[in-house]
Amino acid sequence: MATEDSTGDQLGRSAALRLQQLKGQLFEVALVAATLVGIVSLLVLFAYISVDAFRPGTASPAWFLVYLGTLVAPTAAFTLYARRRPAVRTANAVAFAAVFGGLLLSAVTYAVVDALSPYDVFIYGVFASLPPMLVLAYDRTTEGQAYTGPLILVSILVGIGVAAVVDGPISGPLGIAAEWIMYFGLVTVPAALLVGTLTASRRGRRTGAVAGGAVAAGGLAVAGASIATGANASLLVVLFSAFVVPTGYVVRRSVRTNPAGRVGLAGPFVLLGGALLGAALVERFGIETPDTFLTPTLVLESWDGLTASNAGVYPQIVGSIIIVGFMAVLAFPVGIGAAIYLEEYAPNSGFRGRLATLLEVNISNLAGVPSVVYGLLGLALFRRTLGFGTGIVVSASGTLGLLILPIVIVSTQEALRSVPDDLRQGSYGMGASRWQTLREVVLPEAIPGTLTGTILALARAIGETAPLVIIAVATTTYSPPSGLFSSATALPLQIFAASANAKPEFRHGVVPAAAVVLLTLMLLMNATAIVIRNKYGRET
């Protein structure tokens, strides 16, 4: 604050003002530094983990040169090329999502179904999906639509109940059929139906039927070929139906709707081709590869506490996926239902209004309860009250489900809150009931937000350890869970247990490698959530 000299002086930059400006700049620098310090420290620690897991130091320079030439440089060049052309960039993103999403989907489907027994999954799948489809078909032919909604729900539940009863008697005789037939029914048939319906909705019934039929025939052909060559028919059928078919469909759609970006579709194949070419060159010239712990053994074998190079976390990964998957089935409907009640149904005033406020406060408190305490709840509920065995999938899923319930509720509430009230008014004004408004207008708008929240909840659950320790989930099992009532372990538990092993090849080898796997899973989920949020978040 300058004094009352001449006005002209005051508008110039006095020394005092310049000092103030410097102070402001220093402050801003300090703020940036503070914002970055956490992120940078984490990146440094991630780098330590990755280096320990991958051990780039053990590779010969030639190895790096080969992959630089075949993998890194072409991919980087292609990405730079795509970046400046929006159409190409879109097609590139779509192709990446299809290829790697498809690969991941195939791997997870095969691993989970294989663990739970394809025959059992097939029986449950048929009994849970046929009745609702019959109800839907009946609904198409008649007019009384009021009963359809509840009937579908009931038919699924009854179907699962029937499956539980008949599973024993049927699975014996069913076992005569080859395993790949189960996968065909579980993966190829839905894929064919999906492709058929999607094609039919755009290009007419006949084309749809042809497309669906082509997918089914392709599945059969793949199975036949792999039986003839002695390959794993089940795995190839899954790969065909959950990777080749969706990738093919997406690529064709993209060529049709976004012809200008056609080149972008090559993106993932540049990457994969580069990796294959690199591997071939390394093999051909006998180049020394890194002595890494990120090997197929790690993700395909079971644990070995003595020899680090034999140790794998396949049962842990599949266990984590099954636990978290079943948790989603348990927790998401309840969480989303609770959020809908609080946002759309609960009044603001009167007795029920106060009840709703109580619920809100309660939920925000539950979100702050430490995760170990949920472990104690799980222990008391599943072990003592329900008498379940120690460390089985349902207990783990249930415990984690209770833990993430508040997260799901709060994020779904936010998603519902962001739907403009105008739309609700419009719908009510048309004579829609509350339920119809919800189903037709509010929920479709809230789906991206809800999806983001639920994926983040999954990411949180897959890393959760403390409650699983408390409910005494085993740290190591040597095969994935074979059912919901069989014992399982989870990846973070193995990391916890193995980090106590002071042998360097464990402490600075297998454990960071397992951590890389867990981090990859969790970062993939986070990235998916962020992509969905950015794509749909700002539209309204």
Partner 1 sequence: MSESDSSPKIQTTIETGDEASRDAPLDARDTVIETRDLNVYYGDEQALDGVSMEIFEHDVTALIGPSGCGKSTFLRCINRMNDMIEVCRVEGDVEFGGKNVYDDDVDPVALRRKIGIVFQKPNPFPKSIRDNVAYGLKIQGYEGDVDERVEESLKAAALWDEVKDQLDSSGLDLSGGQQQRLCIARAIAPDPEVILMDEPTSALDPVAASKIEDLIDDLAEEYTVIIVTHNMQQAARISDRTAVFLTGGRLVEYDDTTKIFEDPEEQRVEDYITGKFG
Partner 2 sequence: MSNESDSGVGSLQRSGFVVRKERLYGRLIAASAGLTILVTVGIILALSGRALSFWSQISPIAFFTGTNWSPVIANSYGVLPLISGTLIVTIFSALIALPIGLAAAIYLSEYASDTARSILKPALEILAGVPTVIYGYMALVYVTPLIDGFLPISVQLVPAGVPILPEFTLVMPSLGTFNALSASVVVGIMIIPMVSSISEDALSAVPDSLRQGGYGLGSTKFDVSTRIVVPSATSGIVASYVLAISRAIGETMAVTMAMGMSPQMPYFPNVLRNLAESSQTITAAMVQIAGADSYGSGPTYEAMFALGMTLFAITLIMNVLAELVRRRFREEY
Query: Taking CB under 8 A as the criterion, which residues in 435-454 touch partner 1?
Result: 436, 440-441, 444-445
Question: What whole-number distance in Å separates Cα of residue 398 and Cα of residue 471?
Answer: 11
Question: What whole-number distance in Å separates Cα of residue 8 and Cα of residue 312?
Answer: 76
**SS3 label, residue 477:** coil
Nearer to partner 1, 377 or 441 (CB): 441
363 binds, among partner 2, partner 1, none (CB under 5 to 8 A by kind): partner 2
Question: What whole-number distance in Å separates Cα of residue 367 and Cα of residue 527?
Answer: 23
Alpha helices in 418-506, H assignment, sequence order: 421-429, 434-437, 443-463, 466-470, 491-498, 504-505
Residue 143 binds partner 1 (CB under 8 A): yes
Question: What whole-number distance in Å separates Cα of residue 84 and Cα of residue 498?
Answer: 46
Amino acid, res. 37: V
Backbone angles phi, psi at 290, to 5 degrees: -65, 145
Residue 540 binds partner 1 (CB under 8 A): yes
- Among 64, 100, 341, 428, the residue binding partner 1 under the rule CB under 8 A is 428
CB of 456 to partner 2, least distance (A): 7
440 binds, among partner 1, partner 2, none (CB under 5 to 8 A by kind): partner 1
Amino acid, res. 481: P
- Among 288, 426, 485, 534, the residue binding partner 1 under the rule CB under 8 A is 426
- Among 103, 334, 432, 472, the residue binding partner 1 under the rule CB under 8 A is 432
Question: How does DSSP classify residue 430?
Answer: T
Residue 427 binds partner 1 (CB under 8 A): yes
Question: What whole-number distance in Å separates Cα of residue 394 and Cα of residue 512?
Answer: 29
Nearer to partner 2, 2 or 68 (CB): 2
CB of 358 to partner 1, least distance (A): 17
The torsion of the CA quartet 35, 38, 41, 42, rounded to 10 degrees, works out to: -120
Residues ≥6 apart with Cβ < 8 Å to 233: 178, 179, 180, 222, 223, 226, 227
427 binds, among partner 2, partner 1, none (CB under 5 to 8 A by kind): partner 1
- Among 3, 6, 229, 348, the residue binding partner 1 under the rule CB under 8 A is 348
283 binds, among partner 2, partner 1, none (CB under 5 to 8 A by kind): none
515 binds, among partner 1, partner 2, none (CB under 5 to 8 A by kind): partner 2
359 binds, among partner 1, partner 2, none (CB under 5 to 8 A by kind): partner 2
Question: How does DSSP classify residue 471?
Answer: T
Nearer to partner 2, 68 or 358 (CB): 358
Candidate ranges 1-9, 64-72, 323-331, 424-432; the one touching partner 1 (CB under 8 A): 424-432
142 binds, among partner 2, partner 1, none (CB under 5 to 8 A by kind): none
Closest CA to 245 of 105, 121, 110: 105
Closest CA to 107 of 394, 517, 529, 475: 517
Q: Which residues bind partner 1 (CB under 8 A)?
A: 143, 145, 347-350, 353, 420, 422-423, 425-433, 436, 440-441, 444-445, 539-540
